[in-house]
């Protein structure tokens, strides 16, 4: 897997490209305080998984880039679930299906819950097709 930028770099670079302040970024994302944006940019915090679509839209960052960064950095998701989700987001990698098939039921449930939380229909459909193709 290629070395990808962490969330803090994605957010800061996008905010600078848009030439907006942390306060304006927070407002666009729907946060009441710029402090959280500053904490994300410093690497001290991550956005909640469910907030990533709003961050993507507000800062013009591809949702898949944010999801990938979140998965690499999050400590709340088991490693095998992270690997499967990241692999599924890059379909040209032939190992994605093997990683999805190898998940235990708990991790499988975590993957589906993460997808549902994101409400990203394209990613959800892609992964569900992968699971049904192996059934």
Tokens (6 digits) for 62: 């591809």
Q: What is the pLDDT of residues 36-53, one digit of tens each?
A: 999 999 989 988 888 888
In the chain, the domains with their CATH numbers are: 7-70 (1.10.260.40), 77-134 (no CATH)
Task: Give me the pLDDT at residue 40, please.
Answer: 93
Q: What is the pLDDT of residues 115-135, one digit of tens each?
A: 656 545 555 455 555 544 444
Q: What is the pLDDT of residues 83-111, one digit of tens each?
A: 777 666 655 545 655 665 677 777 766 77
């Amino acid at each position: 897997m290629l070395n990808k930028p962490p969330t803090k770099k994605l957010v800061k670079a996008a905010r600078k490209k848009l030439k907006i302040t942390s306060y304006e970024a927070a407002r666009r994302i729907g946060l009441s305080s710029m402090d959280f944006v500053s904490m994300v940019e410093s690497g001290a915090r991550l956005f909640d998984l469910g907030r990533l679509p709003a961050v993507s839209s507000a800062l013009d960052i591809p949702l898949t880039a944010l999801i990938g960064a979140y998965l690499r950095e999050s400590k709340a998701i088991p490693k095998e679930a992270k690997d499967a989700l990241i692999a599924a987001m890059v379909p040209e990698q032939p190992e994605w299906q093997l990683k999805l098939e190898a998940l235990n039921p708990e991790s499988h449930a975590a993957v589906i819950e993460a997808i549902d939380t994101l409400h990203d229909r394209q990613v959800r459909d892609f992964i569900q097709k992968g699971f049904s193709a192996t059934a």
